[in-house]
Amino acid sequence: MRVLVVTESFLPSANGVTTSVLRVLDHLAARGHEALVVCPGPAPSTYAGFPVVEVPAITYRGFRAAVPGVALARLLDRFVPDVVHAASPFGLGAQALVTAHRRGVPTVAIFQTDVAGFAGRHGLAVAGPTIWRWLRRVHSHADLTLAPSSATLAELAAHGIARTRWWGRGVDARAYHPRHRTSPAGAALRACLLDGAGEGAALVGYVGRLAPEKRVDRLAGLADLPGVRLAVVGDGPSRSGLERAVAGTGARFLGRLDGVELARAYAALDVFVHTGTMETFGQTLQEAMASGVPVVAPAAGGPLDVVAEGQTGYLYAPEDDGALARAVAVLAADPAMRARMGEAGRRRVLPRSWEALGDALLEHYAEAVDAAAAVRHAAWPLVR
């Protein structure tokens, strides 16, 4: 199968969209398919043996946004894909869906960014209805729209987006593993992060982009909890403000980490905390659970499907900072509970491999191809 992957985000940007696109490309390569990637520049020239074509882009609030143009249509015509995969389509992806639809090329759109919610967090809540009208128009050109959680599927239905299916996110349980906690490097990292925190202190951490829509300012209320040392992994526009808010608490900032360093940081934690309330899934929750760490997350969106309340962690009322702090405090004070929940969390995510999700995606591609063929047949029935 020939797959044209059009994504609103790609390397070197690190976020959920980029991660899922990379895993899709890895799977396509492993299964012997062909792919071409189109994304905002700058970007690497290849990935997983597939060519990557960058298009002009602008930067807005730390995000790279592609500028649609004629190049995408020309690439589609030259590559002649069997299916177009549009990752989180809004600008460039929207153009890809419209162009492919006009040419009768099957399309699969991946919905994984709450653009309307992000607009609200950036003071543009009034734009929410307009954004949803645009998204409804964009996804009307897709043969299938895939969403990663039941909450997101319900929201899409409420806004009139049809032809949806569930497609989750995988996790690499071999890379994210509790063994990193007791390895020499992991033990050294944990000792460094807890230095001066006092006997029995719990290491409570966050991993992700440090930006307003992630509500990372809420972490400041955890840094002062008795018996808690805060560790923050990631970077972004909210980092400096958060550093000022937790000054004097002993909180540690590790910056952006990847690969084994990131896996080691997850495993070093006693509790993982998620503060954002607009996640369509919550990939970092799965990575923490695979690492054997109990999680605390808002009872909204994707985390509702990921976290088993009271078994792998706690879900708190999304806007209740007190509930967040209380959940963290309970886990921080009970090592035995943390161990039980950490083990249960790992067991919960073990079946969610990227290989299984990749194969499911290929089945969705086949469904889109069949759907597009049915539309063409209905429009031009055979003359007998």
pLDDT, tens only, 92-142? 999 999 999 999 999 999 998 877 666 555 555 567 789 999 999 999 999
Q: How confident is the model at residue 65 (pLDDT cuts 50, 70, 90)?
A: confident
Question: What pLDDT score was predicted for residue 118?
Answer: 61
CA of residue 188 relative to chain centroid, distance:
29
Residues 289 and 348 sit within 8 Å (Cβ to Cβ) = yes
The arithmetic mean of pLDDT across residues 17-25, rounded, is 95
Is 262 in a helix, a strand, or coil? helix
How many Cβ atoms are within 10 Å of 8's Cβ, its own excluded?
A: 27
Q: What is the DSSP letter of 114?
A: -
Q: How far is CA 244 from CA 226, 238, 241, 251, 253, in A?
A: 20, 10, 5, 11, 12
- Class of the domain covering 2-170+353-375: alpha beta
Whole-number Å distance between alpha carbons of 275 and 19: 20
Whole-number Å distance between alpha carbons of 294 and 259: 21
Q: Specify which residues 4 forms β-bridges with.
A: 36, 84
Question: What pLDDT score was predicted for residue 226?
Answer: 96
The arithmetic mean of pLDDT across residues 165-178, rounded, is 95
> Which range is least confidently modeled, 7-21, 137-151, 253-267?
7-21
Q: Specify which residues 85 forms β-bridges with.
A: 5, 108
Q: Chain-wide mean pLDDT for the chain?
A: 93
Question: What pLDDT score was predicted for residue 168?
Answer: 92
Question: What pLDDT score was predicted for residue 115?
Answer: 73
The arithmetic mean of pLDDT across residues 51-56, rounded, is 96
Backbone φ, ψ for residue 364 (5° rounding): -65, -40
Cα dihedral across residues 79, 80, 82, 86: positive or negative: positive
Is 91 in a helix, a strand, or coil? coil
Query: Would you say residue 375 has pLDDT above 80?
Result: no
Residues 6+ apart with CB under 8 A from 217: 238, 241, 242, 245
User: Could you give the percent of the chain with pLDDT greater than 70?
Assistant: 94
| Burial (Cβ within 10 Å: 0-12, 13-18, ≥19) of residue 240 | exposed
Amino acid at 262: L
Residues 262 and 290 sit within 8 Å (Cβ to Cβ) = no
The pTM of this model reads 0.85
Query: Would you say residue 58 has pLDDT above 90?
Result: no
Query: Would you say residue 14 has pLDDT above 90?
Result: no
Whole-number Å distance between alpha carbons of 367 and 373: 10
Whole-number Å distance between alpha carbons of 57 and 145: 25
User: Could you give the percent of the chain with pLDDT greater than 90?
Assistant: 86
Q: Specify which residues 60 forms β-bridges with.
A: 63
Which run of H or of E encompasses 329?
helix 321-332
Which run of H or of E encompasses 109?
strand 107-110
Q: What is the DSSP letter of 15?
A: S
The arithmetic mean of pLDDT across residues 210-224, rounded, is 95
Backbone φ, ψ for residue 339 (5° rounding): -65, -45
Q: Report pLDDT digits (tens) over 242-301.
A: 999 999 999 999 999 999 999 999 999 999 999 999 898 999 999 999 999 999 999 999
The arithmetic mean of pLDDT across residues 85-98, rounded, is 96
Query: Would you say residue 63 has pLDDT above 90?
Result: no
Query: CATH classification of 179-349, choosing from 2.60.120.260, 3.40.50.300, 3.40.50.2000, 3.40.50.280?
Result: 3.40.50.2000
Query: Would you say residue 383 has pLDDT above 50?
Result: no
Q: Report pLDDT digits (tens) over 312-358.
A: 999 999 999 999 999 999 999 999 999 999 999 999 999 999 999 99
Question: What pLDDT score was predicted for residue 154?
Answer: 95
Same fold, 2-170+353-375 and 179-349: yes
Which tops the pLDDT comparison, 384 or 191? 191
Question: What pLDDT score was predicted for residue 379?
Answer: 60
Q: How confident is the model at residue 384 (pLDDT cuts 50, 70, 90)?
A: very low
Residues 6+ apart with CB under 8 A from 37: 5, 6, 7, 10, 21, 25, 43, 47, 50, 51, 52, 53
Backbone φ, ψ for residue 252 (5° rounding): -110, 135
Domain boundaries, the chain: 2-170+353-375, 179-349
Q: Using omega within 30 degrees of 0 as the cis cutoff, is the peptide bond preceding 12 cis?
A: yes
Q: Report pLDDT digits (tens) over 28-37.
A: 999 999 999 9
